[in-house]
Structure formats: structure tokens, C-alpha cells
Amino acid sequence: MIPTLPRPAWLRAATVLYVAAFLTFLFLPLAVVAVFAFNDAPYPAPPWHGFTLDWFLGNDAAGRVGLFRDDELLGSIWTSCVVAAWVTGLSVALGTANAFLMERARFPGKGALSMLMLIPLVIPGVILGISILAFASRLAELCGDLFGIEADFLRPGLPLVVLGQFSYIAAIATLTISARLKRFDRTLEDAALNLGASAPAVLWTITLPYLRPALIGSAAIAFLMSFENFNTTLMLVGGDSPLTIMMYGRMREGATPVLNAVSLFLMLASAAIALTLVRGGRRAES
């Protein structure tokens, strides 16, 4: 129960035990991934054979390809970064436009539109993927039949992956940025306008700086969600695999600890992003 009410000793003990068990459950999978990145054995499994950096640096004598020499894996990281950069840019831009549309503009059908903007969040990712895949190839066929143009970007590949991820990440960016714009004190804009500032100048010097934390936050979230997306990407991917798809393929084959090495990097990168976000959020509040 709550601290102000008497709690029997067994309940206190059970609480502590529960928290300990819960945290173990949360962190055990991550801990083993990190630990076995350094195990001197060809498979990420016990027993412990000693510490090695082979899975990062590679070891020609033992025939081990380390993460830094694994061109396929490094290539897929780059692919993921490129896709994530596109998705982030598009999502934040659209999210900002949508925020102004929903918080400032008045037009008929606004309620329906705001409902519609939430729909992408309740469609399973796999279905977003197949619907965009099917629609894009129908358009591609149409292009071929009508104009005799080969519209390759409508075939499975990175452009479609970007569009597929963007289709729902944009909804998240819209929610985040709208929430902040809603709390904005509009008298600040009126004051600037009264003092003779032009509308674009007000936007640039007053409103956008106010939105900055939400823009940075939604950009970080968009990047991370794109980088980690699997379901939608799986359906739309062509020849170049982003990292999650590449890892999935290797995990089915029974992978070497190189995957642990790359996972460790992902953990550190996510932690860095999370930390900047938490810090940024705190600064915005103060």
C-alpha cells in the first residue's frame, strides 16, 4: 500500500524482492549480449573462454571477421543511418506543419482530420508495409502501362522503406510538436507583432525557438524509431538491408559474436541519445 499506512514486514520484503527480480528480468538479456561480445569462442554461448577483442577488431589467424572489418554489417549500419536521416527530416518537417495546422488554423473537417492523423499509430506495422508495397507497385505498373516509364523507386527498396517508416513516425512527431505548441503563450507573438515585427520574423525569432526542445526531441525519437524499425521495413526492403533486417537474417542462421559486438554499439548509441534527451528535457523545463 502507501507509505503513510502500516505495512507488514513481509510486504516490505516482498516489495524489495519484486523490484530486484523485475530489474534482473529487464537487464539480464542486455547484460548477456554485452558480455558475450568479449568471449573468446566462435559462438555467443557459455562457457567463458577468456577475454578477446576479436569480435571488434577481427583476427585473421583464427578466421574471425570483427565488426570493424565486416563490410556487410558496416554497410547496413550506414544504410540504416541514411534511411533514418530521411525519415527524421520528413517527419519533423511534416510534424511541425501539422502542429501549426491543428493548433492555429480553423477549417471545416478539422476534427475528422485530427482523428485521421492518429490512425497510422493503430495500424500494425506489417500491414502498413504490405499496403504501401501493393499500392506502390500498382502505381509502378500504371506508370509503365500509361507512359512506358520504369518507376524503379516504387519497387521494393530504400525509398519505399523511408516512406513506410515515415507514414507512422510522422504521426508521433505531430503529437509531440502539437503538444508543445498548444502550451505556447500567444500573447508573446501579439507583443512582437505590435512592436512591428513581420509574421515570418515572429515565427523565426519567437515561435520556433520556443518549439526547439520538441523539435529536437521528436527528431531524436524519429531517428531511433526508424533505426530500430523492423516490421514495416521487412515488407518493403529491396537489395540493401538496413541493420535490423541484416541482424535478423544472421540470427536465424546462428550468428557469431560479431552480432553481440554490433549490439553493444547500438546500446551505447541509444544510451547516448536517451541521455541527451533527458538532459534536454530538463533544461527545457527549468
Query: Using the rule CB under 8 A, is 169 a contact of another protein?
Result: no
Query: Using the rule CB under 8 A, is 143 a contact of another protein?
Result: no
Query: Using the rule CB under 8 A, is 46 a contact of another protein?
Result: yes
The SS3 assignment for 233 reads helix
- Residue 169: exposed, middle, or buried by beta-carbon count in 10 A (0-12, 13-18, 19+)? buried
CB 163 within 8 A of CB 84: no
Query: Using the rule CB under 8 A, is 249 a contact of another protein?
Result: no
Query: Using the rule CB under 8 A, is 146 a contact of another protein?
Result: no
Query: Using the rule CB under 8 A, is 218 a contact of another protein?
Result: no
CB 72 within 8 A of CB 234: no
Query: Using the rule CB under 8 A, is 252 a contact of another protein?
Result: yes
Q: Tell me the C-alpha distance between 216 and 178, whole Å.
A: 14
Q: Tell me which of 20, 134, 149, 191 binds another protein, using CB under 8 A.
A: 134
The SS3 assignment for 39 reads strand
Query: Using the rule CB under 8 A, is 92 a contact of another protein?
Result: no
Contacts of 162 (CB under 8 A, 6+ apart): 83, 86, 87, 90
CB 235 within 8 A of CB 130: yes
Among residue numbers 50 through 79, which ones bind another protein (CB under 8 A)? none
Q: Decide whether 19 or 57 has the Cβ nearer to another protein.
A: 19
Q: Tell me which of 20, 60, 62, 138 binds another protein, using CB under 8 A.
A: 138
Q: Decide whether 116 or 191 has the Cβ nearer to another protein.
A: 116
Query: Using the rule CB under 8 A, is 4 a contact of another protein?
Result: yes
Segment lying near another protein (by CB under 8 A), choices 39-47, 49-57, 58-66, 185-193: 39-47
CB 263 within 8 A of CB 33: yes
Q: Decide whether 36 or 54 has the Cβ nearer to another protein.
A: 36
Q: How many residues bind another protein (CB under 8 A)?
A: 88
Query: Using the rule CB under 8 A, is 115 a contact of another protein?
Result: yes
Among residue numbers 178 through 197, which ones bind another protein (CB under 8 A)? 179
Query: Using the rule CB under 8 A, is 9 a contact of another protein?
Result: no
Least gap, CB of 60 to another protein (angstroms)? 26
CB 148 within 8 A of CB 69: no
Query: Using the rule CB under 8 A, is 118 a contact of another protein?
Result: yes
Query: Using the rule CB under 8 A, is 101 a contact of another protein?
Result: yes
Distance of CA 4 to the CA centre of its chain: 41
CB 118 within 8 A of CB 171: yes
Q: Tell me which of 53, 59, 131, 210 binds another protein, using CB under 8 A.
A: 131
Query: Using the rule CB under 8 A, is 47 a contact of another protein?
Result: yes
Q: Tell me the C-alpha distance between 102 and 108, whole Å.
A: 12
- Using alpha carbons, select from 119, 120, 116 the residue that is nearest to residue 129: 120
Q: Which residues of 203-216 are buried (b: 16+ CB within 10 A; e: fewer)?
A: beebbeebbebbbb
Q: Decide whether 61 or 148 has the Cβ nearer to another protein.
A: 148
Segment lying near another protein (by CB under 8 A), choices 63-71, 133-141, 183-191, 208-216: 133-141
